[in-house]
């Protein structure tokens, strides 16, 4: 049985841990509010652009722009978005496991499936499992991601697609639903194609291009890729903060429960020690008589 000193030391240790988890919960809650507002604000623009581009992709020939050209399934790139830090429950593990499952299920259908990972934790999780498929890792960009960040990543992705390094590019991230619910989301980024649920009659109307079709497509199609990546970064950041807040809240409650149990154990051990001392005193007094 542990001594009173050991129990008291453990109680102090758990209380210190509880203070840390409470502080982390408060910080995550403050960051969550800003991240959630940014993610929600970006959704209407991203969804409307997706609708417009789906109409264009349905109407235009593949030869109209390289990003519309579907070349088959020779090589694919999966852009995985995770966090740079842990202590956020299953946030990193869930999306990383989904990436591993997708590659294991589909690697026979492609000549190769490579990984571009955003976030240190995704790299750490998959390094021993799919280390040979990781071609690029971005670190320390998820928390303060800007559109410029998404633009730079988008330019790299587009370059690898247009020079035929890859025939398809996919995006995998956690979409924010609430502080306790994050949905693992898998989307095709390239080639840009019509939404499967879209009625072909919806695109029957013709568009007028100004100054001309090539210039408009050359501007708007790359921007669609950048917007998808930017939205993914915002959704992933909001999901990370929500998951961390929820995890730290759970850790704080578990610490409080543990402190209660240890305090009870300490009081019982202290009571037993006092009882033992009293019995020894009484026994000694009786022996003197």
Which positions are annotated as active-site residues? 88
For 252, residues 6+ apart whose C-beta sits below 8 A from its C-beta are 18, 21, 22, 25
Instruction: Give the CA count within 13 Å in the CB-facing half-sphere of 90.
Output: 9
Q: Give the other-Cβ count within 10 Å of 60's Cβ.
A: 18
Number of H helices, E strands in the chain: 5, 5
Please give the Cα distance from 114 to 166 (Å, whole number): 9
CB distance 117 to 134 below 8 Å: yes
Render the burial of 219-246: b for 16+ CB within 10 Å, e for the rest.
Answer: ebbbebbbbbbbbbbbbbbbbbbbbbbb
Q: Of 50, 20, 52, 79, which Cα lies nearest the Cα of 244?
A: 20
Q: Which two tokens stand for residue 287?
A: 């022996």
Give the H or E element holding residue 113.
strand 112-118
The secondary structure of 201-220 as a DSSP string is GGG-SPPPPSS-HHHHHHHH
Separation in Å, CA 81 to CA 30, 52, 103, 218, 225: 22, 25, 15, 27, 15
């Amino acid at each position: 049985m542990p001594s009173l000193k050991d129990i008291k030391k453990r109680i102090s240790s758990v209380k210190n841990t509880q203070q840390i988890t409470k502080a982390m919960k408060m910080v995550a809650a403050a960051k969550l509010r800003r991240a959630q507002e940014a993610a929600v604000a970006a959704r209407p623009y991203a969804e409307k652009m997706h609708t417009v581009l789906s109409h264009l992709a349905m109407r235009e020939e593949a030869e109209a722009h390289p990003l519309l050209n579907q070349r088959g399934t020779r090589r694919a790139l999966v852009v995985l978005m995770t966090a740079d830090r842990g202590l956020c429950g299953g946030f990193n593990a869930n999306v990383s496991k989904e990436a591993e499952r997708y590659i294991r299920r589909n690697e026979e259908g492609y000549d190769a499936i490579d990984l571009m990972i955003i976030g240190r934790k995704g790299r750490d999780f998959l390094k021993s499992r799919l280390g040979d498929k990781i071609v690029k890792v971005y670190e320390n960009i998820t928390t303060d991601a800007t559109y410029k960040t998404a633009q730079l990543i988008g330019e790299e992705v587009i370059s690898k697609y247009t020079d035929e390094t890859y025939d398809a590019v996919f995006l995998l991230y956690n979409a924010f639903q609430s502080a306790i619910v994050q949905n693992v989301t898998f989307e095709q980024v390239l080639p840009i194609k019509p939404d499967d649920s879209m009625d072909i009659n919806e695109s029957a109307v013709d568009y007028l291009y100004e100054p001309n079709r090539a210039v408009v497509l050359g501007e708007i199609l790359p921007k669609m890729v950048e917007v998808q990546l930017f939205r993914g970064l915002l959704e992933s950041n909001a999901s990370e903060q929500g998951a961390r807040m929820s995890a730290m809240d759970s850790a704080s409650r578990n610490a409080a429960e543990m402190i209660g149990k240890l305090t009870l154990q300490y009081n019982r051990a202290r009571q037993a020690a006092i009882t033992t001392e009293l019995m020894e005193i009484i026994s000694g007094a009786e022996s003197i008589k």
